[in-house]
Structure 1
């Protein structure tokens, strides 16, 4: 089944790629196009500025891309244009018996690599020295502990001198503190310290927000220093929040996973892609993370609103939803509609339960059913259709164009919306048409 244009454009790494890909979504520059052939792939040659056309192939089973162009973006504009053409014009991209040799070689290589990864044991696991690994872990834990003790002292100095001093000191003080946490091999603490540095310039009410974040950072420090007394699931969460590496473990869960949302964020050093999935049979919600170095998009991309038959392996930790994407079976396919949702009161309760397991959780994934987007003073809110409760839209989401898409989709009537419910409000990520047939990304 072919994807929609909205699902294709949601894969674009940035607005410029979305615009450039849209220009290539017509048949004019394309030749030798085709799809299917038992491979779940789409391929074609796109005329460019050089003498040879760019060869582009997309594996729709895993949303993987290959193009001979020099672009570092992933997917590139040619892959986006090819998918848009495939989505909108069945005559231009016809079903064929087999892909051309150049596309078939790449597809076969992907299949072989996937099979080898499943069959071959992990060489690192076979050769690792458990005693040396234990000593390295202990040494790193000592460094993190020293960093946490130093950070506690710096927080005490801040509160003793008054929060007003944070505004006068500027961002340099926080950057220097963050660098100290990096030296202590605690990148999770460093990230939270950098966030503190941006709060004094965030507008009215910043002292309250700074105090809140300082309290959460203090709680994380104390949890690390007393981690031996914590239940193991909570201790695992603390290790993750501090920034220690953890591996997915436990039994893999195979299900038909609905792609609820996908969006990127960047801190200037790293691009993080978050993909929310919902298991049709298990009822579980899972978060798949992928990362790209500065200037490069992450490699994993899944179209919103489609469903994949795949295995996910969970990561440890109390209340943690992160999972590793494993083997995929078949191609991405359309689904019948959104998962069962909650009312606004249920969303707030779900976030409250999440905080019990993970006090540092900023938000919780929720599907809201039968809510109406409406302005509220200078802001917006999502109100239950029965008027019992309304959730404010998070401040960061108020400036996104997706909010107007949501309002147009609703037309004043109730819709189903997936997003993240947190202490700042609700961030809408995906909405479904009133008849529940199409998912529309809002990011």
Structure 2
């Protein structure tokens, strides 16, 4: 049950579906016999507001789904399936079984599990270890009941560490298999020639199940998703955009293939890497760490400072919304990136408009060049901050070069530029930010900068020097915020 002690109606459950296809798939799944019959298959905790279940997937491993219903107006979903929809069909199907509302037409058609056609399909009880582990992290967050108020909640004792280790090892093996398959794909491409990547046509599958050199990059990316390696999948999709993308595209494709090969080899030989670089390789393939675990780690690198918010940028990534908040320490000068994700029924963690000064603790995620950080304790309310100090073009390029030395897969590094002027490039192709003395200039990243952002930047400058924050990388400089003298976020 929810924290308010009542089950939901069918209409309320189906209202959460992101689209009609998910709604129909959830109804079929709820009425099917694909839910495991063990005592950990489907269950609920009526006091704490949690529902969990296991359903058979297309492979040998069941999909594990758990839902936090403590706030009935903002349920939070977690599922081991590869779907990018929130909630996925497994979460919706689980809620339908929990609500005791398996659609009758499915049972009458002979496709349903009649044992689940009545209410109470999800019996109250204690969650299994795989659900406890995720729920414990949720319940440790601010705002959840503690003490007598939360007496009905399941134990927050950490899940069986051996079971957690085995799950992590199984995922590592799946990613390693995906990386090995990707290596064969790259080898095929090099044997057949880079120019063949620009040919259209269907995929050619070999007897061992891998995709031939002319195969679809999208299909290869889907295989990486199946291997639970979203970082590899994203880089493979990027490769698919390069063929025939402009002059000298084979050279750019070769560079990206080399970086992807380096990442594959880094992950497959991770035990030989220094610990910081190994952490970077793990994050690049898509092995993430919860913010709560970063904050609670005994070796966490926690820094207290007054952090100036430099930019807040939202982007749509499939059904999810990502929010990137860039900060810089007033005392330490360290850059930090707070990254969060939200969905239709999962609000983003925090909003920090540019220009605020925040006295807080940040815990950095491990890596060879730490940048991403989890927001810890705040020591004072946020207040307006000053215009940030910055550097020139040459120093910005040097900062990116130093970061790239530690993390070879780094696309860009955050920097603040001062006394720069937006000008048309000398060859008439694009725009650039030039030092006020005219000796150095950075091209603006044409792929990330829209017309609205460009003309906003030009109008704010009016031909005069200004302070700009953005990301400096191999594609150029992507401006995110300009000061006039107050911060002006540039439209995405």
TM-score for both structures, normalised by structure 2: 0.62
Which residue number in structure 2 is paired with residue 134 of structure 1? 165
**Correspondences of 1:91-130 after superposition (within 5 Å):** 114=142, 126-130=157-161
1:98-145 Cα distance to aligned partner (Å, 9 max, x none): xxxxxxxxxxxxxx973669999x988733212222222222212211
| Alignment correspondent of 1:103 | none
What is the CA–CA distance in structure 2 between the aligned matches of 1:191 and 1:315, rounded to whole Å? Answer: 21
- In the alignment, structure 1 segments of 5+ residues that lack a partner are 1-67, 69-111
Shift in CA distance, 127/164, structure 1 to aligned 2, threshold 3 Å:
same
Shift of residue 275, structure 1, vs aligned partner: 0.7
Q: Which residue of 2 aligns with 1:411?
A: 462
Aligned residue number for residue 373 of structure 1? 422
User: What is the CA distance between 1:169 and its match in structure 2?
Assistant: 3.7
Instruction: Please state if 1:156 is matched with 2:177.
Output: no
Deviation per CA, 1:228-248: give whole Å up to 9, x if none.
111100000001101112242
**Structure having the larger proportion of residues in helix:** 1
Task: Count matched residues.
Answer: 329
Structure 1 equivalent of residue 442 of structure 2: 391
2:469 & 2:155 partners in 1: Cα distance?
Answer: 39
CA distance in structure 2 between the aligned counterparts of 1:398 and 1:245, rounded to whole angstroms: 28
1:349 has 2:404 as partner: no
Residue 213 (structure 1) shift: 1.3
**1:192 Cα deviation from its structure 2 partner:** 1.0
**Native 8 Å contact 2:392 2:435 kept in 1:** yes
- Closer, same or farther in 2 for the Cα pair 1:365/1:280, shift >3 Å? same
Larger-Rg structure: 2
- Pairs within 5 Å for 1:171-250: 173-200=216-243, 202-247=245-290, 248=294, 249=297, 250=300
Shift of residue 282, structure 1, vs aligned partner? 2.4
CA RMSD of aligned residues (A): 2.8
Q: Which runs of 5+ in 2 are unaligned?
A: 1-72, 74-139, 204-215
Question: Residues of 2 paired with 1:153 and 1:294: CA distance?
Answer: 38
Equivalent residue for 1:326, pick from 334, 356, 376: 376
User: Equivalent residue of 1:199, what SS?
Assistant: coil
Task: Report if aligned partners of 1:271, 1:296 keep a CA contact under 8 Å in 2.
Answer: no
- Residue pair 1:271, 1:297 contacting (<8 A) in 2 also: no
Cα deviations by residue, 1:183-239 (Å, 9 ceiling, x for unpaired) = 222111111112212222634443222222111111101111111111100000001
Number of the residue aligned with 1:441: 489
Higher strand residue share: 1
Structure 1 residues 293 and 384, CA gap change in structure 2 (3 angstroms): same
Q: Which residue of 2 aligns with 1:270?
A: 320
Cα deviation, residue 369, structure 1:
1.2
Tell me the TM-score normalized by structure 1.
Answer: 0.69
Q: Call closer, same or farther: CA 1:113–1:421 in 2, change over 3 Å.
A: closer
- Which has the higher relative contact order, 1 or 2, with Cα contacts under 8 A spaced 6 or more apart? 1
Equivalent position of 1:10 in the other structure: none
